[in-house]
Amino acid sequence: MLKSMTGFGRAEHKDDKLHLQVEVRSVNNKYLKITSDVPNALLSHQEQLERHLKEKVHRGSVHLDVRCRTAVNSLPYHLNLEALKGYYRSLQELQKELGPEGEVPLAALFSLPGICEKGEGPEREVETQLPLVESLINSAMERLQEMRTQEGKALQEEILRCKRQIERILTRLTKKAPQVVENYRERLHKRVSQLLEGTKAELAESDLAREVAFFAERSDITEEIARLKSHLQQMDETVQGDAPAGRRMEFIVQEMFREANTMGSKVGDGEMLRDVIDIKMEIEKIKEQVFNVE
């Protein structure tokens, strides 16, 4: 079963402190290329996170994006209420001694040491949730793979449709080839007879047979048809397999073009040449689809 190189997957987690969102995107590439954007707190684990992608994707450009945001009720700073109460009691005692003139506003307490303490924030929080991040990556990859598999089915259907069309054309060519040789023999016989008309020279059947044999050998595409059928069989087996098929199919398409070009240089019949052109067009369609196959 073929897989497309194009896909997208997303997974997220929300709680009262943190909102985590993971996205994975993949597009076409001849080779495998992995990139990622992760929070600073996860940079030391970046390679470990990317490994989850490499284990499941074999070809294409794949980008991982991990984002974290603080929830509404999670603040980067918090008040140390016990320290604030202690400062406040001390100031009350001091105010009794100083009198009304020594009143200190409550807001002034917030500048004292230990009142406002820095929280861990989303960056620190996400580092403690590394297993959760990895789980989200796996979930996003599952959705990405579902999309790639679904698109791969469409690619496979189109490739097999083109394959069947090429097989039909090859069947026509196989049937036409003997008749083309016979038509050439008749045309050659008629032409030579017209040239010799009114002369004492006679047409030697042996010479005619030798010329026809030379034409038949020169225009024979039996081997090319057989090899092209073999390539189509290999493609069918590759498409039906479970292993990544893109690189192998690219090679098969190159070989199919090679055989079709050789056939085009050999055939001298107009109808057969049009059939060969049609084969090349179908191979080109397969090539366009293979560009998207993993």
pTM: 0.70
Residue 24: what pLDDT?
Answer: 98
User: Does residue 127 surpass a pLDDT of 70?
Assistant: no
Residue 93: what pLDDT?
Answer: 78
Contacts with 10 (C-beta within 8 Å, 6 or more apart), sequence order: 21, 22, 23, 24, 140, 143
14 strand-pairing partners: 19
CA distance 294 to 246: 5
Backbone angles phi, psi at 268, to 5 degrees: -110, -10
- Residue 82 tokens, joined: 């016990």
User: Does residue 104 surpass a pLDDT of 70?
Assistant: no
Residue of 204 and 267 predicted with greater confidence: 267
Q: Is 3 helix (H, G, I), strand (E, B) or coil?
A: coil
User: Does residue 117 surpass a pLDDT of 70?
Assistant: no
Note the pLDDT tens digit of each residue in 213-240. 666 566 677 888 899 999 999 999 999 8
Residue of 121 and 109 predicted with greater confidence: 109
H-only helix segments in 81-129: 81-98, 121-127
Instruction: Judge whether 103 and 95 are in contact, CB under 8 Å.
Output: yes
Helix axes 246-266, 222-240, angle to 10 degrees: 160
Q: What is the mean pLDDT of the chain?
A: 83
Q: Provide mean pLDDT across the span 179-191.
A: 64
User: Does residue 133 surpass a pLDDT of 80?
Assistant: yes
User: Does residue 17 surpass a pLDDT of 90?
Assistant: no
CA distance 278 to 212: 27
What percent of the chain is predicted at pLDDT more than 90? 50
Instruction: Judge whether 126 and 42 are in contact, CB under 8 Å.
Output: yes
Q: Is 73 helix (H, G, I), strand (E, B) or coil?
A: coil
Residue 102: what pLDDT?
Answer: 58
User: Does residue 150 surpass a pLDDT of 90?
Assistant: yes
Residue of 195 and 50 predicted with greater confidence: 50
CA distance 12 to 135: 10
Q: Where are the beta strands (DSSP E) in 173-275?
A: none
Pick the closest to residue 24 from 67, 88, 69 (CA basis).
67
